[in-house]
Chains A and B, each alone.
Chain A
């Protein structure tokens, strides 16, 4: 089966600019996750969707980050305006249901200058 697709793989922007990342999960996977992985740290959950509803966004900085999952399939994560500390790899993952194993995409590496 096709894996979790993410784009772009790399993005360099200046602080205060905006950026958007796209994720297409494995077909049929109802649950979609966005994680932030800062260099040298473990991934941290930003937001979890079940179909097109939000299950957990407790660690999403809502003043600058937003995410949507239209039609319960693919998802977009946006940062506006970006800060230096947003430099990280943004990982998308999906699972059949919330209790199942997660499959991760390759990630989108963001550098904020």
Chain B
């Protein structure tokens, strides 16, 4: 079945460091890909998405490119801030079927 594998956490970085959180997926067909973020005490929020191969999703300085050849959707940010501390979830959605999540990666940014 469809599945998502994320980089193991937790990840701890210093402010202004470069961030990469790896995400690979297994799916039949061509799913849409997402990154959701969960800040402490809050619900899941959509961070960015990509709906087809080579699409780049971006928001709040974060980027991820839909790589069909490597079945990946890695999340990157050039300079992280303390306020980026949260749990990040990679997810896929094949059309009208259910959204399937990875296990999440906890990110902590130290000042």
Chain A residues packing against B (C-beta within 8 Å) = 4, 33, 40-45, 48, 55-56, 91, 93, 97-99, 101-107
Contact = CB atoms under 8 A, between A and B. Distances in A.
Interface of B: 4, 34, 36, 42-46, 49, 89, 91, 93, 95-104
B37 to A, nearest CB: 11
A33 B91 CA distance: 15
A91 B104 contact: no
Contacts of A99: 93, 95-96
A41 B104 contact: yes
Contacts of A33: 98-99
Nearest to B91: A42
Nearest to B36: A104
A33 B93 CA distance: 13
Residue from B45, B49, B99, B101 whose CB has the most chain A CB atoms within 10 Å: B99
B43 A42 contact: no
A102 to B, nearest CB: 6
B43 A98 contact: no
A108 B16 CA distance: 34
Given A104-B45, A107-B43, A42 B98 contact: no
A9 B49 CA distance: 28
6 contacts: A33-B98, A33-B99, A40-B104, A48-B98, A99-B93, A99-B96
A102 B99 contact: yes
A104 B96 contact: no
A98 B104 contact: no
A45 B68 CA distance: 25
